[in-house]
Amino acid sequence: MTERRVVITGIEVLAPGGAGTKDFWSLLTDGRTATRTITFFDPAPFRSQVAAEIDFDPEQHGLTPQEVRRMDRAAQFAVVAARGAVADSGLVFDNVHEHRTGVAIGSAVGATMSLDQEYRVVSDGGRLHEVDHTYAVPHLYDYLVPSSFAAEVAWAVGAQGPATVISTGCTSGIDSVGYAVELIREGSADVMVAGATDAPISPITMACFDAIKATSPRREQPETASRPFDATRNGFVLGEGTAVFVLEEMESARRRGAHVYAEIAGYATRSNAFHMTGLRPDGKEMAEAIRTALGEARLNPDDIDYINAHGSGTKQNDRHETAAFKDSLGEHAYRIPVSSIKSMVGHSLGAIGAIEIAACALAIEHNVVPPTANLHHPDPECDLDYVPLTAREHRTDAVLTVGSGFGGFQSAMVLTGPGRRP
């Protein structure tokens, strides 16, 4: 049996700073940032008061009033992006069968925003332990089980193949796409509508990251709060958003004449088995994931042209992954651009991995690598080329993107330009 290979034929991104793939790519290549003082609720009681929010009007994006009513914000994002990605791919079910089309949507925290709001109501502001069911909204069960996100996407695009939500914390976006790739390769599906979504900017999320001082407490100049690899970085900035892709088996995509953005050539995930939130400085497990993903892609470290870093902007993370890049790519790590788009769009937990895959596919498409914004004072312990401030024209045939998440998950994915891999 010939090897089944998987390509991206459709992309839609909803990210802070502009809802839509085009606006997203302009933001990145301009090096603009979308972090701001929180507007969704009064941030005054919180240590961290900055986030990357999307100005999102669901009805303007084609959702019906009923869809808006029953879906959490993160599900709304995913449905809008899934429809956009399918439209971008030109896919219709004349070309493929809905039974052979599946769905994999990543999300770290599910319907957190709705659960936070609804809890407040049924508990009467936290007063009731035995919360009052008569105040519950009819769709509370859909918020309880985030698998509803995959169901909504499947309904929206008409998929009837395997469907699931992948929830591996902050690597959910890479892992959901990786899961989808594995299903196509093994023959369980020919097309996967895959990506990730999260809308976590809610008091409970701010409070839990405040409690472990993971988010940046910087309040002045909120647009500069997310500072990956900078010596003055002091935590990540929470974001929200989604990216959804149409993934297809390469030969069938070619047969229907689809535009191919990139091939997903390799993927792996490993665990650090160390700590739910902490990272060892050596990055050994992420390095192992990178090596495995490269092996699956049959590429050498020297073939990689660009690394899209996890780059969350916490002290620990940025050193951890710098070590992992050096461990896995050797001297080559010093020769290639590495950047973190979280400097511009914040850290949208499970969604960001998919948004970063979109950035990688667009970097391949345009031969431009996005910069790391707000990087003015390099940390001596982070001594790679992080593309400070300004995007760079750069021939980009093979890209590595990585993620690191609570639970100890370390994921890596390799994308290559169409036809660039033998």
Partner 1 sequence: MTDPVVVTGLGIVSPTGLGTAPYWSATRRGVSGIGPITRFAADGYPARLAGEINGFVAGEHLPGRLLPQTDRMTQLALVAGDWALADAGITPADLPAFDMGVCTASAQGGFEFGQNELRNLWSQGSRYVSAYQSFAWFYAVNSGQLSIRNGMKGPSGVVVSDQAGGLDAVANARRQIRKGTAVMVTGAVDASLCPWGWVAQLASRRLSTSDDPDRAYLPFDERANGHVPGEGGAILVMERASRAVARGAHVYGQVAGYGATFDPAPGSGGQPGLARAIRLALAEADLPPENVDVVFADAAGIPELDQAEADAITEVFGPYGVPVTAPKTMTGRLYSGAAPLDLAAALLAMDEGLIPQTVNVTPAERYRLDLVTDHPRAAQLCSALVLARGYGGFNSAVLLRSGYPQRVAAAR
Partner 2 sequence: MTERQFTVDDLHRILVEGAGETEGGALGPDTIDTTFDELGYESIALLETGSRIEREFGVSLSDEDVMDSRTPRGLIEAVNTRLGTTSGAAV
Query: Tokens at residue 396, please?
Result: 């980009």
Sites of contact with partner 2 (CB under 8 A): 211-213, 275-278
41 binds partner 1 (CB under 8 A): no
Query: Tokens at residue 278, please?
Result: 């902490």
d(CA 290, CA 301): 9
| Beta strands at 262-271 and 6-15: parallel, antiparallel or unpaired | antiparallel
Contact 174, 290 (CB under 8 A): no
d(CA 358, CA 356): 5
- Across 17-148, where does the E strand assignment appear? 18-19, 36-37, 50-52, 101-106
What distances in angstroms separate CA 341 from CA 16, 225, 227, 263, 384, one per listed residue?
A: 11, 13, 10, 21, 16
108 binds partner 1 (CB under 8 A): yes
CA angle 207, 35, 346 (to 5 degrees): 70
Interactions with partner 1, residue window 254-273 (CB under 8 A): 268-273
Backbone phi, psi, residue 261, to 5°? -75, -50
Stretch that binds partner 1, among 17-25, 101-109, 309-317, 380-388 (CB under 8 A): 101-109
User: How many chain residues touch partner 1 (CB under 8 A)?
Assistant: 87
Residue 102 or 228 having the CB closest to partner 1: 102
d(CA 173, CA 287): 19
298 binds, among partner 1, partner 2, none (CB under 5 to 8 A by kind): none
- State in angstroms the smallest separation of the CB of 160 from partner 1: 5
- Please say if 310 is a catalytic residue: yes
Query: What count of Cα atoms within 13 Å lies in the side-chain half-sphere of residue 23?
Result: 13
- State in angstroms the smallest separation of the CB of 321 from partner 2: 19
- Please say if 347 is a catalytic residue: yes
Stretch that binds partner 1, among 6-14, 28-36, 154-162, 233-241 (CB under 8 A): 154-162
d(CA 153, CA 298): 33
44 binds, among partner 1, partner 2, none (CB under 5 to 8 A by kind): none
Stretch that binds partner 1, among 10-18, 210-218, 314-322, 369-377 (CB under 8 A): 210-218
> x/- binding map, residues 274-293, to partner 1, per CB under 8 A?
xxxx-------x--x-----
Q: Where do runs of H (alpha helix) occur along 123-242?
A: 140-144, 147-157, 172-186, 203-211
Residue 235 or 418 having the CB closest to partner 2: 235
Q: Which residue in the set 24, 25, 209, 236 belongs to the binding site for partner 1 (CB under 8 A)?
A: 209
- Determine whether 20 is exposed, middle or buried from the number of CB atoms within 10 Å of its CB (0-12, 13-18, 19+): middle
- Please say if 382 is a catalytic residue: no
- State in angstroms the smallest separation of the CB of 128 from partner 1: 8
- State in angstroms the smallest separation of the CB of 350 from partner 2: 21
Residue 1 or 211 having the CB closest to partner 2: 211
Residue 22 or 275 having the CB closest to partner 1: 275
278 binds, among partner 2, partner 1, none (CB under 5 to 8 A by kind): partner 2
Q: Which entry of 61, 97, 320, 347 is annotated as an active-site residue?
A: 347
Residues with catalytic function: 170, 310, 347
